[in-house]
Chain A
């Protein structure tokens, strides 16, 4: 199931909770209803705030062959010893296993950008979570339409 559906449901839940303030609704979705990706991302993030922006995920809009989809992820950063990107995690929520790859950068990279080719089982969002040297966390997502799935099923 695409993660967007979950986010949409949660957003709807939150909105419903705000509207019906008198109703006793849980403040957040219980852990059991989270997707594996959401659980994994929550473990990485911990109690830190998740920021938007700074990450560019480059994927084809339509991937005709899900067995090898070119992916480039780039994060805006000066890449100095004091201020750099440490790790970028890539997830594909609709795959049998959501974890795709983690790129670990150092200031010696000069730029926080990496490319590889990935398998996507179906049309879905690819999610990137970047951990910075100052401990801050950024998240971005990019949809890719997959014509022929690539998980060998």
Chain B
């Protein structure tokens, strides 16, 4: 059974002016089980990772990441974005089982 997708978080900078290139930081709680480990009884713990992260702004994809087992538990992902106008980000994390976690966040450009 896949681990719960956990709580996603995102930090969007404030006080952003049009034309600024900002850094969006995201974090989600997830074990990122590699499939290489064994439990105390010696049985292999099945692989269970988040394999995809997508960031959209006002519906358009702006950044995407493919994750493999070498990404640490509780994946931290930071990426840049050129802020031109206020709008809404949508972030989607997807695991091996196809389950998703979603988060939206507002960007205010002053």
Contacts and interface: CB of A to CB of B under 8 A. Distances in A.
Interface of A: 67-69, 79, 92, 95-97, 99-106, 108-120, 150-153
A101 B63 contact: no
Interface of B: 21, 34, 36-37, 57, 60-73, 75-82
A67 B72 contact: yes
Contacts, number: 101
A116 B63 contact: no
A139 B100 CA distance: 33
A104 B70 CA distance: 17
A79 B76 CA distance: 23
Nearest to A111: B80
B63 A106 contact: yes
Nearest to B38: A152
Given A100-B68, A100-B71, A152-B34, 12 more contacts: A69-B72, A102-B65, A103-B79, A105-B79, A106-B61, A106-B62, A108-B57, A109-B62, A109-B82, A110-B81, A114-B65, A117-B76
